[in-house]
Amino acid sequence: MAILHGGQLSRVAKQYQIPEKEWVDLSTGIAPFSYPIPNIPAHIWQDLPTISQGLVNAAKAYYQAQYCWPLAGSQQLIEKLPELWNYKVAELNKTPLKDMHAYLPKVGYKEHQQAWSKAGYQLHFYQQSLPSEIQKNSVVVVINPNNPLTDAFTIDQLKKCQELCTQQQALLIIDEAFADVFEPEFSFISHLADLNDITYQEHRLDQIRANVIVLRSVGKFFGLAGLRIGFVCSSQAWCETIQENIGPWSINGPALFITEQALKDKTWQVTQKMRLQQQSKAMRTILKTHFVGARIEANALFITVFLNQAADVYHQLCKQGIYVRLTDENDSLRFGIANETQLKKLKLALIKVMSY
């Protein structure tokens, strides 16, 4: 069954019978300020897409990664990883395993859960604390920072989890889709360099120790979700495996070209962080004024308000043409960051909604 995400404005506009152009769409964690599209040479449109070394080098510098590779959005690899891991485990154990286990956050991006469930894995859930015990050859998924809860794990916590995965010959997947608004030291990619120097031999432990995969998104921080591009940062062996299995031309040429320019533009990136933080702070002030006493968690790409009556507030906001994300648990609302114009409309809508 398809998972409902934010960004489905057409469906919501039809449901509430309000023209799309009249809505304020805050249903995603996509930045409201987009990287300006540069002039794209004609040959980029005419030629088959080529992943250039220039793009790979730009990504390595931006993510501070030793090995990385572009994807058609991190979703592409989320769907593909169960197949790749099954093959790797079968190869290492000389036979397919019948009982496979995946450990995931109870609240988080549901596509991870769906991918491993479809692959026949037994699912185990955690939230505030990372798993302290896992099955051999299992999978641990960490969403850092969590979407929609905003909470995050430290590098030390992740290192302990990685050590546990090493002991159990397990795969650790860290989804850092919203990590761009944090300092580079927040990312586990900085720790990956310690794992990438391993010599890949037949010895199972040598191979398993590097089974850490970090997923990064371009669309959210750069406000270019329509490009459908992200990156995987991992060991050399995993990057090579992924290259071989995702097929050619999965990312269009203009997306590759634009992304390379964006990753190199440090001046724009600094400006983007500053204005996102500014807008997030302004939004939090407004939300605290209208949701008095509610728990509000935030980062510079989205803000989550926890409410007992979240479903009713969501409905009332939609009637005002404000589209936010009602979480799967129906106990909170996730607000994407608004620009100045959207913020004014949100403030007026909240006055009406909260006066009911």
- Amino acid letter at 125? F
What is the predicted pLDDT for the residue at 331?
95
Say yes or no to pLDDT of 186 above 90: yes
What is the predicted pLDDT for the residue at 199?
46
Q: What are phi and psi for residue 324, nearest 5 degrees?
A: -120, 180
Can you tell me the mean pLDDT for 22-29?
Answer: 96
Query: Encoding tokens for residue 59?
Result: 């990504």
pLDDT band for 354, please (50, 70, 90 cuts): confident
Can you tell me the mean pLDDT for 253-282?
Answer: 98
Bond prior to 145 in cis (omega within 30° of 0): yes
Can you tell me the mean pLDDT for 203-229?
Answer: 83
pLDDT band for 258, please (50, 70, 90 cuts): very high
| Pairing label, strands 322-323, 302-306 | unpaired
Whether the model clears a pTM of 0.75, i.e. scores above it, the answer is: yes
Give tens-digit pLDDT for 268-282: 999 999 999 999 999
**Class of residue 300 by CB neighbours under 10 A (exposed 0-12, middle 13-18, buried 19+):** buried
Can you tell me the mean pLDDT for 208-225?
Answer: 90
Can you tell me the mean pLDDT for 83-87?
Answer: 94
Higher pLDDT, residue 291 or 248: 291
3-state secondary structure of 325: strand
Domains of the chain: 9-35+267-353 (3.90.1150.10), 42-264 (3.40.640.10)
Give tens-digit pLDDT for 296-333: 999 999 999 999 999 999 999 999 999 999 999 999 99
3-state secondary structure of 104: strand
Structural contact between residues 60 and 247, judged by C-beta atoms closer than 8 angstroms: no
Structural contact between residues 200 and 237, judged by C-beta atoms closer than 8 angstroms: yes
3-state secondary structure of 331: coil
d(CA 26, CA 323): 6
pLDDT band for 202, please (50, 70, 90 cuts): very low
Indicate the helix (H) or strand (E) that contains 30.
none
Give tens-digit pLDDT for 34-84: 999 999 999 999 999 999 999 999 999 999 999 999 999 999 999 999 999
Say yes or no to pLDDT of 209 above 90: no
Can you tell me the mean pLDDT for 204-213?
Answer: 64
What is the predicted pLDDT for the residue at 118?
96
What is the predicted pLDDT for the residue at 3?
61
Higher pLDDT, residue 288 or 96: 288
**Among 218, 183, 223, 179, which Cα is nearest to 339's?**
223
Say yes or no to pLDDT of 107 above 50: yes
What percentage of the chain carries pLDDT values higher than 70?
94
Return the C-alpha torsion angle 109, 113, 118, 119, nearest 10.
Answer: 120
Higher pLDDT, residue 144 or 205: 144
Structural contact between residues 64 and 264, judged by C-beta atoms closer than 8 angstroms: no
Q: At what angle do helices 53-63 and 253-264 cross, to 10 degrees?
A: 40
